[in-house]
């Protein structure tokens, strides 16, 4: 059974994560990379919406149990492949030649929140779900590339608070700080508004992609040159002290 699927509403592609909490591991990154390539190969697609069909979750972020199991077994390659695979996801979203809209239907934690920040726009339902960066509580540092593109989505004054406290935020709070475009009443309202917004875009891929390439040039350079994969001497993602 696939962990995600996609369909079209007129010229808008809707990619739906279908694996409950949508925890991110190597299968997740491989599948998402392939699906993003498949969607953009359809020349009729003018916008992409990313969402989930779970009642409570958009994505709960990294599959920590999977990663810790690999690290305990000293199987570093799958972990590195996952990290690099998600870097490719982030880069693709940043440079996608059509607008990418995250329709956050429930909890977006850690890498789930981070992935939504790589998208161009965000909508979130206000009756269910929180947005959170819990890394400070888990002892996991943000990679340089992640910080670079999160800053495009979240004002620095708010990002500092979010990262250093690990607090949870509602859709209404995020809308007030322009992290999301709209706090929607419920699931139905979320998809109606996200889809309506997506259908306003009929931009030519060439200019749209070039604008994003130039706009995010510094971010892409960081993703390409400054983030390093995990060394074979690593035993844990956590930092003690």
Domains and CATH numbers, the chain: 4-198 (3.90.226.10)
Nearest alpha carbon to residue 135 among 102, 169, 162, 155: 162
- β-bridge partners, 9: 12
Distance CA 7, CA 33 (A): 16
User: Is residue 133 a contact partner of residue 163, using CB atoms and an 8 Å limit?
Assistant: yes
Residues 183-229 have pLDDT tens digits of 999 999 999 999 999 999 999 999 999 999 999 999 999 988 866 55
Distance CA 4, CA 195 (A): 19
Distance CA 174, CA 6 (A): 27
Mean pLDDT of 31-38: 98
Integer-rounded Cα radius of gyration of the chain: 17
Residues 99-158 have pLDDT tens digits of 999 999 999 999 999 999 999 999 999 999 999 999 999 888 899 999 999 999 999 999
Exposure pattern of 196-210 as b/e (b: 16+ CB <10 Å)?
A: ebbeebeeeeeebbe
Distance CA 203, CA 82 (A): 32
User: Is residue 154 a contact partner of residue 120, using CB atoms and an 8 Å limit?
Assistant: no
Mean pLDDT of 53-76: 95
């Amino acid at each position: 059974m696939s962990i995600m699927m996609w369909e079209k509403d007129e010229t808008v592609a809707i990619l739906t994560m279908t694996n409950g909490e949508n925890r991110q591991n190597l299968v997740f990154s491989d599948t998402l990379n392939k699906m993003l390539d498949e969607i953009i190969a359809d020349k009729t697609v003018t916008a992409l919406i990313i969402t989930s069909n779970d009642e409570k979750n958009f994505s709960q972020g990294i599959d920590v149990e999977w990663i810790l199991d690999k690290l305990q077994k000293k199987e570093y390659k799958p972990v590195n492949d996952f990290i690099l695979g998600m870097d490719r996801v982030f880069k693709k979203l940043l440079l996608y030649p059509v607008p990418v809209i995250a329709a956050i239907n429930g909890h977006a934690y850690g890498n789930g929140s981070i992935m939504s920040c790589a998208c161009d726009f965000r909508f979130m339902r206000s009756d269910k779900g929180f947005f959170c960066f819990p890394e400070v509580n888990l002892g996991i540092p943000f990679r340089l590339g992640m910080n670079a593109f999160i800053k495009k989505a979240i004002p620095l004054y708010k990002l500092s608070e979010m990262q250093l406290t690990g607090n949870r935020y509602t859709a209404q709070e995020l809308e007030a700080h322009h992290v999301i475009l709209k706090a929607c009443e419920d699931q139905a309202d979320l998809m109606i508004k996200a889809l309506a917004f997506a259908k306003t875009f009929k931009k030519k891929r060439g200019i749209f992609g070039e604008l994003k390439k130039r706009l995010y040039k510094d971010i892409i350079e960081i993703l390409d040159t400054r983030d390093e994969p995990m060394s074979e001497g690593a035993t844990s993602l956590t930092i003690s002290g």
